[in-house]
Every structure is written in structure tokens, then in C-alpha cells.
Chains A and B, each alone.
Chain A
Amino acid sequence: MFELIAQYPLLAALAALVSLGAIFGALLGFAAVRFKTEGNPIADQINELLPQTQCGQCGHPGCRPYAEAIAGGAAINKCPPGGEATIQALADLLDVEAIPLDAEHGEENITAVAYIREDECIGCTKCIQACPVDAILGAAKQMHTVISSECTGCDLCVEPCPVDCIDMIPQEENLQTWHWKLPELGRRNLDIIASDADKGNVA
């Protein structure tokens, strides 16, 4: 036996590699079972960063499914309500390049809140069924109303309304939310790198 192996070093190498493979495979298999993590921690972290409007503009039915899709490799730029800030945060988390918002899924707008013109509401409950966060109150044949503090501005309730009595009211700045903005940088302070200095002006 040993002679045979000594004669054919190839066999020795083969045996060594196979046994090594078997040992490490067993180890990995054991670790996979022993240290199994519940759920998908990455998807959870991604879900944390999404704005939770549940608007479906990304093409997924809610934020959680989109988070899972991103964890599975989907593009990070399909969330218009989150906008650039969310893309940046996702890029940081996943250590990928931040890419501009995919316009196909909509544009970044000011957050709006749904408002039901109550005297026009006929109480059909269609909007209640469409609201992903149960932010509309009401019952059949009774007037409905939006809990504005819970509304995410997804505008999914607008389409189903048969009498078109839901408005999306953009949230404007008021005394409480007003604040100084970052100083606008003068032209001369804008770019640090030389080559990008005049990019905007040439075209």
C-alpha cells in the first residue's frame, strides 16, 4: 500500500486533497447547521433604510419585498420616495456605487399626504382596502377620512376612488419645519478635482 503510494505521488496528492476536501466540507456543513442565522439579516437592514411608504413604485408589493429583492441583487435605485438619500444609504450599507434614481419608477417628489374631500365621499371603502398601512378610517356608506399622521403619501388610494374625491396635498414648509439650508457653495468652491471644473458649462 505505502509502496504503491510512494511509487505514484499523484495518488498521494489525490488522496490528500480528497480527504482534506471531505474534512473541510464536513466542517462547513456542520457550521452551516450549527450557526444558522434566522431570517435574512441583510434584508432586514435594507428594510430599515427604506422609507416604508409601501407605495409599490419600485415594482414590488411593499418595502419589505423590495428589501428582499435588493438583498437578492436587485438595483438600489428604484425607490422614488426615498430618493438620493436612501440610495446613498443603501450604497453605503452594501458597499456599492451610488447610482442615480431610476426615472422609470417615478421622480423624487415632496412628500404628500392624502386628503379626502369628505362631503364628496360616498363611503365605498375602496380606498380603505387599497391603503397599505391602514391609515384610512371609515365604514361602508359612511364618510371616510385619512389619519394624516399615518399616511405615507403612497397615493395608492387615489386610483380606486370612484368619485375622485382624494387629493394628494404636498406637505409645505411651515414655521415648525422651516430651517436654514446649507450655504450655497459659490462656483469656486464646488469641485475639488480639477477635471470636473467646467463639465457643466461646456455643453
Chain B
Amino acid sequence: MRKIYDFHGGIHPPENKQQSLGGPIRSAGIPKQLTVPLSQHIGAASKPLVTIGERVLKGQVIAEAGGFVSVPQHAPSSGTVIAIEDRAIPHPSGFHAPCIVIECDGKDEWLPLQGLANYSERSPEELLDLIREAGIAGMGGAGFPAAVKLKGKPESQIQTLIINGTECEPYITADDALMRERAEDIITGVKILQHIVKPTETLIGVEDNKPEGIVALREAAQGSDIEVVEFPTKYPSGGEKQLIEILTGKQVPSGGLPADIGIVCQNLGTTVAVQQAVLQGRPLISRITTVTGEAVDQPGNFEVLLGTPMSHLLELAGYDSTRNKRLIMGGPMMGFTLTDLNVPVVKTTNCLLAPSESELPAPPPAQACIRCGLCAEACPASLLPQQLFWFSQGKEYEKLEQHNLFDCIECGACSYVCPSNIPLVQYYRASKADILQQRRDHEKSEQSRLRFEARQERLAREEEEKAAKRAARKKAAELRAQQAADSDSVEDPIQAAIERAKAKKASQQQSAATESELEKLEKAVASTRKRLETASSKLKQAQEEGSELVEALQKGVDKTQVKLEQAEKALAEYQAKQPQATEGSHDTGDAAQAAIAKAKAARAAAGDMSPQEKLQKQVDNLRQRLEKTSQRLAESRSAGEEAKIVDALEATEQRLQSKLAEAEQELAKFNAMEAS
């Protein structure tokens, strides 16, 4: 007899499994419409291969894998693709996501299937490809692509293959039903997996609350080296890490994978899918789903096509919406609520739980944490949940990481036992997400910082290079002039050369002068502006103090203003005259700075403006932009530029016009309001 280990903590919630075990697995039939979400698994979404209006056969690939960690999707029944659009999908957020919608024709016409009779002669890689092509993703809950997990890392040798038939969540019996009715298929599937990973031991772990299933499995496994291990029922023994500890006594290192300690786990349901994919060539298009809870009259297990609306399934089970306040996909411990009855069944839908209000009452308001420590006793990861709770409340992320928040498997045992009804798991989920977000933000800001610094460096370098070039040119010119002077006494042609050199030198000097002229002008503007600023601040002070100097100062300010305007005008004229020079040296170098300065000024101004003023400013701004654009348009028209540019400018002009009209209208409204 194999030694069974125990894991820390755990709870014993009422199992409630009998309700759905009354009869055999029923077929859910073919609904009118099937909605296949492109993302039913962990990893990249699949990419659609069909077009609207296309007829598809049952089992046909309708979307290919979107990456390495991804799976393809298949048509669950024959029919016509009527839409590829965002539909409600089963996700705790209640968001919509891209789905392929198929209108079923009811014929259920299969694509011709081709299975492998003797898989043992094929290479593991070939079989892995088959599994991947069949679209198999873990059917226990998370939905990790099975082929990726089986492939593992090349450097880690797998010794133990564990099949998870624990099904520790209350209410769910999908795997139990499979064990009872399809034990042979399960064992065949396990044998295929054995052939792929070549483990030294193969274990099927089952909780002791499924005696019938265990008997059936053991019977089917007779004569093979597959061991069916039974262990005491305790939630959450079906967690991958917990199951590994129960069966082997080993712990998966924090942040690592089971493969790191030579173990690979697969869900029981996945083995049946593997068996079908390999032996029959049948892709994953249906699954066993438990429908249970007091709000359905005939709870049970259904074989249901993926994409079937939940409402169809609920109807089959005799759903009474008046008794039901929350609909849960998955079990009562880790499942999530659905807010839309029309979301489809997906690869991870192991259970649909429709409890009555008395069965799972709405949570009462949370009371204060009395640090009773029941949560720490229940935690299967040996965490200190109440400490984590305090830190989550205070958003002390560093402390949370210190207390190993990321080892929390969100099993809900802590919330279950909490006498104060604190939604602990929600705190952990939110905190985890916040920490991850923070990490991502920090990474991004780090990257932005590097890019910013690189840019600054580049600008500085360009500036330097330009300066160096200028200096070199000047030096060369001087040298030539020198040479010219030295050979002064020689004949006429030389004289001509000298003349030329002189002319060149003159032009060089002129360009140098231009440079300094521009600088001078700019400096003048800047200093005048500064003078104006100090003068006006002095004036303001004087006004506030009621000094006699006000008049004199006023005069001074006015004068400076005039000077500034002159200086600016001179600068503008100069720039207009020397368009190349200014653009070359000024624009590229400091455009960012200038933009920043401009934005800054605009913002500073916007900060202390009334809404009306803001509007006015907006209107002015738009008008200015419009003018600029019209001018540019006229220019490009006259210059005969490309039609594309002219068109773009025209479109811009129109848009700006309409924007301006809108803004003006708004302003007028505002003014009218003011007036009344």
C-alpha cells in the first residue's frame, strides 16, 4: 500500500455530490446556436479561419492556435457561421470577447475522422501534435493547453505522471461520472500519456468519497502499471500542489512547476479527450458538465457540446429562475458567478451550479477580524491569511510579498472558515493584481526612462557633431585663405582662385554671422521678456502696496513691452528670411523642450481660468489652427504638392471648422447663460 501524505490545513465543507449522481450521463443535444469563444484557455486567443456565411462540418477547425501557448477551436456541430463578433463569455468580469457563432443545421454532420489504431508505434512528438491539433486544454478549471504541459521542459526528466481525479470541490461530479461510466477510456488515455512522457510511475489520485468510481478504475487498470490511489476527502486536495504533496510528499518549489521535481499532472477529463483525439481523431468539441443546485429540478451530468448556451443546459435540468439568485460556473469554493444566462459552455466548464438562496445565502456584511487564526489553520499553503488581510487593507505590497502572497492558490478555505465573513480571497486577488500591475508599470517606466535618456544623449551628440562640423569647416576655410594669401605673388589664374576662395570665405563668415545674429536676436527677446517680467512683478507689488511709484513703473512696463514686441518681430522676420538655418539648428534640437514649454504654459494658464475663459481659449486656439491649416493648404495647392497631402489638409480643415463651430456654439451657450 502506498504511503499517503497529508497537507497542512484544509476544510470539510458539505459535499453535496449525491444530488447530481442519480442517473447516467445525459446528452444535452444540439442547440439552435453554438457560440465558440476564441479564448477558452490560458494563453493567446485563437485566430478564426472561417468567414461569415461559411458552412462548417462537425469537428472542422474554425480557429487556429494563436501562439505556442494556445489551442485551435473546432466546430462542435455542423452548420453555418453567422457571426464572428464580441459575445458574452464565461469570465468573472462579465466582459464580452470575440466568438465564432454557428447556426446549427441539426444534421450533426462529421468531418471524416481518422484515428490512430496503434499509437504505441508513433513518436511522442507526433502524439503531442495530435493532442494540440485536437484543441485539448486542461479540463479541470484553469484550461492550460495540455500539449504544452506534457511537453514540459527538455531538461527536466519526468518520473511521476499524476492523473487528478480528486474533484474535491463540493457539488461537482463530472469526473466521478466519467470514472463510473468510462473507466476504460480513462485508462486508455492514461496509457497514451504514459507513452508520451515515459514516467517511472503513474498514479491516479481519487478522494475516498467516490468508492464506485475507484472500483471501476481499478478494474479497468488491472494488468497495467497504473496505480489508483485513494486518500481521505479534504478540500482542497484536488489542487495540483496539494495532490502532489498527498501522493509523493514532495512540495513544488514556490514559483516553480511540478516538472521541476519530476512530476506532471493531468486532469481526469483530459485523459478521455486525449484518448478520443488519438484513437478516433476526434477533436475536443464536447465535455461532461454537472448541472446541480436546488434551483434545478433534475440535477445530473450532461455530455454537452462546447458553445452550447448555459440557458439551454439549465432548461434541460429543469431550471427555476425564481429560486436562483446567483449562477456559478465551477464549484462553490472556486467557481465564479455568471451574470448572463446565454454565455456558452467552454472547455473548462466542469459544473454549473444554480443554488437557491437558502442553500448558498448571500454573504452577510463583514465584521471586524478578531485574529482568531482559523484561516491560518485552514490554509493549505501554510500562509497567515489574516496578516495578509491586514496588509492588503493597508496596501502594504512589500509586506504582502514578504508573507508570500503569491503562494496563495485562492482556494477559499480561509474565507469559508472566517467567523467574521471577511471576503479574504477577494482581498488577495485584488492585491495580487495590483502588485503585478505595479511591477509592469515599473518595468515600463524603467524602459521609458532609458529611452528618454538615450534620446537626450542622442540630441547632445548631434549638437556636438554639428558644432564640430562647423568648427572644421571654418578651420578649413581659414586654411585655404591662408594658402591663398601665401601664393599671392603668383600669376593670374591663381589670382582668380584667390578671388574664389575669398568669396567662399566671405559667405562662410556670413553664415557664421547668421548663426550669431540669430542667437543675438533670441537673446534679446529672452532678456527683454525677463525684464518685462520683473518689471510687471514690481508693478504689481507696488500696486498692492499703493506706492507712488506705480505710474513710473507702469510706464517702464509699457516701454519694455514695446521693446519685446520689436525684438520678437525682428526675430520672426529673421527666421522667415532664413528658413533653412532656423529649422536646422533650432527645430530638431529643441522641439521637445519647446513642446513641453508650450504645453506647460497652456496648462498653467488653463489652471486658473474660468470655464468660459477656457472655452474662449479653445475657440481661439482652434481658429489659429484653422488659419494655419488653411494657409498650409493654400501653399501646398500653389506649390502643386501631392494630391494626398492636399486632401489630408482639406480634411483637416473641414474637421477643424466643424470643431470650431461646435466650440463656438458652446461658448455662445455659455455666454447666453451668463447673460440670463
Contacts and interface: CB of A to CB of B under 8 A. Distances in A.
Interface of A: 47, 50-57, 59, 61-64, 103-106, 119-122, 126, 129-135, 150, 152, 155-157, 159-160, 162-165, 173-175, 177-183, 186, 188-189
B591 A130 contact: yes
B648 A52 contact: no
A175 B97 contact: yes
Contacts of B392: 182
Nearest to A85: B438
Given A152-B444, A180-B92, A186-B366, 14 more contacts: A105-B607, A126-B591, A133-B448, A133-B452, A155-B599, A162-B629, A164-B625, A164-B655, A177-B437, A180-B429, A182-B392, A182-B393, A186-B365, A189-B366
B556 interface: no
Contacts of A134: 451, 454-455
Interface in B563-617: 587-588, 591-593, 595-600, 602-604, 607-608
Nearest to A56: B596
Contacts of A160: 591, 595
Contacts of A56: 596-597, 599-600
Contacts of A178: 91-93, 95
Interface string B417-457: 00000010011011111000100010011111101111110
Contacts of A165: 648, 652
Nearest to B424: A183
B451 A180 contact: no
A12 to B, nearest CB: 53
B40 to A, nearest CB: 12
- Which of A52, A105, A129 has the largest number of chain B CB atoms within 10 A? A52
B651 interface: yes
B446 A52 contact: yes
Contact of B433 (A130, A179, A183): A179
Contacts of A135: 451
B427 A183 contact: yes
Range of interface residues on chain B? 35 or more
Interface string B314-346: 000000000000000000000000000000000
A52 B445 contact: yes
B628 interface: yes
B197 interface: no
A179 B430 contact: yes
A45 to B, nearest CB: 13
A183 B595 contact: no
Contacts of B11: none
Interface of B: 39, 91-93, 95, 97, 365-366, 368, 392-393, 423, 426-427, 429-433, 437, 441, 444-449, 451-456, 587-588, 591-593, 595-600, 602-604, 607-608, 625, 628-629, 632, 644-645, 648-649, 651-652, 655-656
5 contacts: A52-B444, A56-B600, A122-B645, A129-B588, A163-B652
Nearest to A53: B448
- Which of A51, A53, A163, A165 has the largest number of chain B CB atoms within 10 A? A163
Nearest to B440: A177
Contacts of A51: 441, 445, 448
Contact of B593 (A55, A61, A133, A186): A61
Nearest to A187: B365
A119 B648 CA distance: 8
B67 to A, nearest CB: 13
A173 B430 CA distance: 14
A154 B378 CA distance: 48
3 tightest Cβ-Cβ pairs between the two chains A and B: A179-B433, A129-B591, A56-B596
Given A52-B452, A178-B95, A156 B652 contact: no
Contacts of A121: 648
Nearest to A151: B448
Contact of B592 (A63, A122, A131): A131
B205 to A, nearest CB: 30
Contacts of B608: 104
